Structure 1
């Protein structure tokens, strides 16, 4: 799946200032990280005046928040597509873990903005909603094998945390480079997710409540 921000050559905003700035900022994040550039540098990269961004973004954090919102939405789309191939909750969470790895590998700048920008979600309502959208997709799956709402949240944190760590290791080159390393890490993430879920599946069924037929929101 392609990035939600389409790349074009820098310096040409084609009358679309907002997207030109978002593209420029994403390129700068890829080069320097989410804290490694200023709004003025994004303006110059986009080929506009340093005053131009303020027509759309109050400050650099506001621009980053829009990119992070795109990142969460891209994740949700990828995770939903990956999990749609199975009805088994263990396999669905394994597919989520694999998709997490691929998102980090294919969209490293969006990954960095989403998780490393240190944005205050209480300041950015759309960002908070986008993050909640990912949780709302995944938590109902975790509830199918967990022993209560708190356990479901803990299960999801463990699966996501394992996938996140593997994604970081892959990006650091600890598993090698290239498509082979990516495929191996995706499978490693899926195996790890299955093992984590298995600890819940093996718990006595009498102590595990029936899945909520209409799960919404967080536990």
Structure 2
């Protein structure tokens, strides 16, 4: 259901990479002095920010990290495996942000409104992770941890929707409508339709919250 939002060249945040080593230095020998796995993940995030999730190869990530093109295969079977680990981090970052958002109210309609706002902010502040999570086209049946991380997000939000409608299918549809509206607004913001900068982000967050409230009112009608 997981970005001020500007464009793909926006700086990659370190919020999901707190466990990573210090910035990677390139060494002419091709041997990396630090944590190879996290160096490759950082390099891949940078490349996604510049080119999108389909715009780079594992060899390019290796060169960006300053290691040999054979080095990544110690940790990742292929490019999709590397992207799946980043997408998993993306879902977990969403889960943490959305949990904080819905925890600010006891009213389920306001909780969904806060979720919609948080969705927009995640997309604005983590554009590379947002793109990987939603646009990489990863097969979740191949990556159990990725599927589990996505289920955790749904598991957090579906009970909120169920408080507005007891039917499980109706609750799922309600959550989809709210998330879909927030996603569209997030993409529009990244495309510059609402301007740029912190003011545009704040306005879009509020727009997402208003839209979510309108959707929940329709559910009650």
**Same fold? TM cut 0.5:** yes
How far, CA to CA, are the matches of 1:156 and 1:91 in structure 2?
13
5+ residue gaps, structure 1: 197-219
Alpha-carbon spacing, 1:182–1:90, altered in 2? closer, same or farther (3 Å): same
Which among 49, 60, 67 is matched to residue 48 of structure 1? 67
> Would you say the 8 A contact 1:94–1:191 is kept in 2?
yes
Structure 1 residue 2 displacement after superposition:
15
Distance change >3 Å, CA 184–CA 3, structure 1 → 2? farther
* Cα distance in structure 1, aligned partners of 2:138 and 2:29: 26
1:72–1:131 Cα contact (<8 Å) kept: yes
Matching of residue 132 in structure 1 with residue 137 in structure 2: no
Ranked by relative contact order (alpha carbons within 8 Å, sequence separation 6 or more), the top structure is: 2
Q: Unaligned 5+ residue runs, structure 2?
A: 1-19, 216-221
Compared with structure 1, are the counterparts of its residues 189 and 66 closer, same or farther at alpha carbon in structure 2 (3 Å cutoff)?
same
> Residues 5 and 13 from structure 1, CA distance in 2 versus in 1: closer, same or farther, beyond 3 angstroms?
closer
Q: Displacement of 1:146 after TM fit? A: 1.3
**Alignment correspondent of 2:105:** 86
Q: 1:37 to 1:75 in 2, by over 3 A?
A: same
1:131 shift after superposition: 0.3
Shift of the 191–6 alpha-carbon distance from structure 1 to 2, 3 Å rule, reads: farther
Q: Is 2:143 the counterpart of 1:155? A: no
Calculate the aligned-residue CA RMSD, in Å.
3.3
Give the number of equivalent residue pairs: 196
Which stretches of structure 1, 4 residues or longer, exceed 6 Å deviation after superposition? 1-12
